[in-house]
Amino acid sequence: MNAHVAPDRIADDAPSASELDAALRTAAPREVIAAALDLVGRERLAVVSSFGTESAALLKVVADVDPAIPVIFLDTGHLFAETLAYRDTLIERLGLRDVRSIKPDAEALARQDADNDLWFSDPDACCRIRKVEPLARALKPFDAWINGRKRFQGGVRATMSVVEQDGGRLKFNPFANISQDEVASIYAEARLPPHPLVASGFRSVGCMPCTSRTSADEDARAGRWRGRPKTECGIHTVTSS
């Protein structure tokens, strides 16, 4: 199949998520991305990126495969200004041709978060209206999506597969097997700029109200929703439709 021509939908005889996972379990990130592109075509494949502290590594590999693969960026309204600037820097540096900045539904915000403090009273609800629901809307045209989660990040990510079934879509995790050193090597070899907040002690960056600095002896994601049992925003724990 030509990777740049999208089929109407994934063929009935296409391999299942488990079969794809078995075939790609030890594949390099570039091979996983190329396989996803070949399976569904560019028009049916999306990359979801936070443009966070490790995002440039995945986006560099994606750009090397095909810089026109659509990239979905969830602009929650609570992001650091540095993240928005970093998005623009990476778009130019990597030559990404189709980055779509998706905002929450204005009516939902007015109805559920009129005072802009839902992040404090109910962070799960805040993530739902600012990330989960906008992503579900943005993914509707796509049959598969790619993200940058890694097993070394721990938590529920520690045992994830390279390919998963996500509702009616396939989810590809090309960096599942990659190590922290390999991420650093991609940055070094491609001379990728770091996220501007890394130098200030932010090792994982999400929305501003729910992100704090971490010390060297902490897990990189310890600064996300600090002091709460919450560890994920929901886009990887809620099955997409």
Element (H, E) at 57: helix 55-65
Residue 202 is given by DSSP the state: -
Summary mean pLDDT of the chain = 89
What's this model's pTM, rounded to 2 decimal places?
Answer: 0.87
| Partner residues linked to 170 by β-bridges | 144, 165
pLDDT, one tens digit per residue, over 102-147 is 999 999 999 999 999 999 999 999 999 999 999 999 999 999 999 9
Residue 236 lies in a domain: no
Residue ranges making up the domain that contains 104: 17-210
Residue 233 annotated among the catalytic residues of the structure: yes
pLDDT, one tens digit per residue, over 61-106 is 999 999 999 999 999 999 999 999 999 999 999 999 999 999 999 9
User: For the domain that residue 77 is a member of, what is the CATH number?
Assistant: 3.40.50.620
Question: Who's near 226: CB < 8 A, 6+ residues apart?
Answer: 212
pLDDT, residue 217, reads 81
Active-site residue, selected from the candidate residues 127, 207, 210, 233 = 233
pLDDT, residue 14, reads 80
Structural domain total, the chain: 1
Cβ atoms of 47 and 69 closer than 8 Å = yes
* Segment 24-51 mean pLDDT: 97
How far apart CA 180 and CA 141 sit, in angstroms, is: 33
Residue 228 lies in a domain: no
